[in-house]
Structure 1
Amino acid sequence: MTPAKPHLLFLVHRIPFPPNKGDKIRSFHLLKHLASRYTVHLACFIDDQNDVQYIDTVKSYCGDTHFSILNPLLAKLRSLKALVLRRPLSLDYYFNSAMQNWVNETVARHQIERVMIFSSPMGQYTEHLLDAQRIIDFVDIDSDKWLQYSNNKAWPMSWLYHLEGTRLLGYERKLAAESDYSFFVSQAESDLFKTLAPESIDKISFFNNGVDTDYFAPDAAMPNPFPAQSATIVFTGAMDYWPNCEAVSWFARDIFPLIKARHANAVFFIVGSRPSDLVLELGKLDGVHVTGSVPDIRPYLQHADAVVAPLRTARGVQNKVLEAMAMAKTVLVSAQALEGISATPGTELLLAQSEQEFADQTCAIFNGQQINLGSAARDKVLARYNWEANLSVLDPMLATPTSDAQ
């Protein structure tokens, strides 16, 4: 008889399916890894009605589950009380009393001693579980992301974002100090947090993201979605995410015209779900195409002449870069998009920072003057970004609690 799996509580700020954007890719593969070793009891929020259809899929990996529908507008209004209470807005944004009750009842029912937290706001549901083994995957340093936002916004939003960044850092430090281990998405992110939370330095580490390299593999038989005889540039990502919106706006308005002046057949495709009004406006520019959600991004990557990631605000690891590299594409990135990715500029991808650098390097690709780095890019992903190998770092951290051995 197969022995029963130990119980584990997994708390995620967004339903971990479908794995079609950064945090959901990581949380889904984490769920799969944990479910192979534990009976996972999962609670999460759903902030997109379209994701309700995936509840049964997520349940298939779990024991008990709790899904809470999150209305972003109401959550923003609810979080404003945190200003008066001098707490991070993020905590009130993601607080739900029914979820807290479910956590309390589930932990008691199954005598759960292992807790996996994904994203800092979910830590608030476990603060009373002093005897449980708690591991948090912060993924990114969210507080630093808010501080970056504050530098790019006018008052009063700059003040609000700076306040949130400062308060959230205080909570992140508290959570790290009270948890058994804290993980981040890259060594760079981990090293930075060690400087911000030196009291927890011995409990801070990282595990890299991975890529499904069987799925993201070059295949010339994929249908070509681009106009004939066009020189194609592609950006992929969730297009309601402000750093992505900022990146494509900069590229479309300030860089693409420089390319278009030299290559009249150039087109810039912005591929990703839920494009914001800012992004939709870009579709009115000559040669710029905004696709919205597509059933499969791989044909856009497969047939792109250049894949770009011109992010100016970024934290952690950009999955969009790793996926394009896995498709054996030459990817042109900013320094911010490269942060956290183990790849050598000029060997496995290209690096640019100014408008002119992005334009010149893109045109060099079009003209055949830039060596194709796709093969080296895919080799790097195969060697460094394997999900199962990277997630295995968690296994010894979730060692058998004392009571299990009795």
Structure 2
Amino acid sequence: MKRLLFISHRVPYPPNKGGRVAAFHEIKALADHFRITLAALAHGPEEFEAAQQLQNWCERIIVARAGGWFGLLRGAAALLRGRSVTEGYFRSRRLLRMLIEEAAHAPFDVILAYSSGVLPYALGVPAQSRVAQLADVDSAKWAAYAESARWPKSWLCRREAEGVRRLERQAVQRCEAVVLISEAEVRAFGVESDKISVVGNGVDTEYFKPTDDEEASPPSLVFTGTMDYKPNIDGVCWFVREVWPALRREMPGLTFSIVGRNPTRAVRRLADVPGVNVTGSVPDVRPYLAKAALAVAPLLIARGIQNKILEAMAMGRAVVASPTALEGLEVQMGAEVIEAQAPDEWQREILDLLQDNTRREGIEQAARSCVERKYTWDARLQPMLDLCNRLADMPVAAATSEPGR
């Protein structure tokens, strides 16, 4: 079997948040076709141990420490040199050295860089072919942060958007393929190239599936996500401030659970609002989804495909979401998910769904059917398998031994 180096900005285990979910499933799928060396950056001591759980699918696992306060200092230094904070934050000389030594011992046929933050490693290690899986367009996310922030944070976010944009341009110039997560991200990327392809996220429809658990009475709403992530923080704070008071006036027994690890102070304060419950870290989000009458995703800023929406749909929950949160999803608005933007739209749609069981149950069934048809991991990852196999089978003459050509 051919050799593939999978470089991740975080250890992709356990598969319980954002990029970890997709990276984990990609590794599992690629392991049937390649001998995989996983290179990952650990942001805490527990991640070194977590990486070993991937031994069933990886021939070799190389982990180096990154991030933390030293990462921030390296990021600041990179900013002063005119580069992105991202490059400094994820930089590890030790990891790069180990990967170059590994490639010298046994060359890689394909390198897959999972996110723009690890692109410098892919460009610095010899390989026949390189794939930059940017997934989300991070430069667009930083630009959106700049629009909503005050100075000097707005200036820093704008500088980061420019720096990450340069990284994304390098991916097109110096890699054989660039992968984005949706056609919406391709449009946001703003570059025309036949190197660019789309590989979307999926959901584990066996793990996330409808249960026989009864919904809570009185009814409840649920939001799931990592609660130290700015789009999630801003989204739930906006929802509780702008939408929740009117919902509680109409349905005094209604509750809202915010489920996810590391809630910031701003999120924890929401628990002081009548009817709002902030759980913090939980071992399993499925019981919260199963008991909720509705899942909500009121994101003001979002990139890529929202796993939280796919997971709720797979559990057979009706989802009300902002247009931003739904961007990139192949779903029928009004039939498989409900879109809401202004506070009064959110209030009207939520109250109608809570009071109209027939309509809500129809959306629940349509949501589950949608993910079964379109969003299984086998279906979503086939284009990635085809791409990596094609690049690995390129004639050896097309390979290069010069790092970062």
Tell me if structure 2 keeps the 8 A contact 1:183–1:190.
no
Partner of 2:197 in structure 1? 205
**1:143 and 2:139 matched:** yes
Q: State the Cα deviation string for residues 125-169 of structure 1 (Å, max 9, x = none).
A: 122446520011101000100000011111000000001101211
Distance in structure 2 (CA, Å) of the matches to 1:139 and 1:94: 17
Q: Which of these residues, 177, 197, 206, is aligned with residue 181 of structure 1? A: 177
Partner of 2:43 in structure 1? 47
After TM superposition, the structure 1 = structure 2 runs for residues 52-63 of structure 1, keeping only pairs within 5 Å, are 52-63=48-59
After TM superposition, the structure 1 = structure 2 runs for residues 143-182 of structure 1, keeping only pairs within 5 Å, are 143-182=139-178
Q: Which of these residues, 362, 368, 373, is aligned with residue 378 of structure 1? A: 368
Structure 1 gap segments, 5+ residues each: none
Distance in structure 2 (CA, Å) of the matches to 1:249 and 1:385: 30
Distance in structure 1 (CA, Å) of the matches to 2:179 and 2:28: 18
Moved more, 184-193 or 134-143: 184-193
**1:339 and 2:327 matched:** yes
* C-alpha distance 305-48 of structure 1, shift in aligned 2 (>3 A): farther
* C-alpha distance 48-354 of structure 1, shift in aligned 2 (>3 A): farther
Q: Percent identity?
A: 34
SS at 2:359 equivalent: coil
After TM superposition, the structure 1 = structure 2 runs for residues 125-274 of structure 1, keeping only pairs within 5 Å, are 125-129=121-125, 132-193=128-189, 195=190, 197-198=191-192, 201-221=193-213, 229-274=217-262
**1:305 and 2:293 matched:** yes
Partner of 1:37 in structure 2? 33
Tell me if structure 1 keeps the 8 A contact 2:22–2:201.
yes
1:49, distance to aligned residue in structure 2 (A): 3.9
1:82, distance to aligned residue in structure 2 (A): 1.4
Q: Which amino acid aligns with 2:351?
A: C
Distance in structure 2 (CA, Å) of the matches to 1:52 and 1:290: 29
Q: Which amino acid aligns with 2:338?
A: L
Q: State the Cα deviation string for residues 343-379 of structure 1 (Å, max 9, x = none).
A: 1111101010011111111111221277120111111
Partner of 1:88 in structure 2? 84
SS at 1:212 equivalent: coil
Tell me if structure 2 keeps the 8 A contact 1:9–1:107.
no
Distance in structure 1 (CA, Å) of the matches to 2:351 and 2:387: 48
Distance in structure 2 (CA, Å) of the matches to 1:139 and 1:233: 29
Greater relative CO (CA pairs within 8 A, separation 6+): 2
Q: Which of these residues, 97, 103, 107, is aligned with residue 103 of structure 2? A: 107
Tell me if structure 1 keeps the 8 A contact 2:108–2:126.
no
Distance in structure 1 (CA, Å) of the matches to 2:194 and 2:397: 26
Tell me if structure 1 keeps the 8 A contact 2:66–2:91.
no
Equivalent residues, number: 393
Distance in structure 1 (CA, Å) of the matches to 2:188 and 2:154: 23
Distance in structure 2 (CA, Å) of the matches to 1:35 and 1:59: 11
Tell me if structure 2 keeps the 8 A contact 1:330–1:377.
yes
Runs (4 or more) in structure 1 with deviation over 4 Å come to: none
Q: Which of these residues, 374, 382, 400, is aligned with residue 392 of structure 1? A: 382
Structure 2 gap segments, 5+ residues each: 399-405
Q: Which of these residues, 373, 380, 394, is aligned with residue 401 of structure 1? A: 394
- How does the TM-score come out when normalised to structure 1? 0.93
1:69, distance to aligned residue in structure 2 (A): 2.5
After TM superposition, the structure 1 = structure 2 runs for residues 356-375 of structure 1, keeping only pairs within 5 Å, are 356-368=344-356, 371-372=359-360, 373-375=363-365
1:60, distance to aligned residue in structure 2 (A): 2.8
Q: Which amino acid aligns with 2:376?
A: N
Partner of 2:402 in structure 1? none
Tell me if structure 2 keeps the 8 A contact 1:334–1:352.
yes
Tell me if structure 2 keeps the 8 A contact 1:12–1:117.
yes
1:63, distance to aligned residue in structure 2 (A): 1.6
SS at 1:132 equivalent: strand
Tell me if structure 1 keeps the 8 A contact 2:96–2:124.
no
Tell me if structure 1 keeps the 8 A contact 2:2–2:109.
no
- How does the TM-score come out when normalised to structure 2? 0.93
Tell me if structure 1 keeps the 8 A contact 2:51–2:61.
no
Distance in structure 2 (CA, Å) of the matches to 1:152 and 1:304: 31
Tell me if structure 2 keeps the 8 A contact 1:47–1:71.
yes
* C-alpha distance 19-404 of structure 1, shift in aligned 2 (>3 A): farther
1:187, distance to aligned residue in structure 2 (A): 1.6
Tell me if structure 2 keeps the 8 A contact 1:11–1:118.
yes
Tell me if structure 1 keeps the 8 A contact 2:243–2:347.
yes
SS at 2:108 equivalent: coil
SS at 1:151 equivalent: helix
Tell me if structure 1 keeps the 8 A contact 2:213–2:291.
no
- How much is the aligned-residue C-alpha RMSD, in angstroms? 1.7
SS at 1:261 equivalent: helix
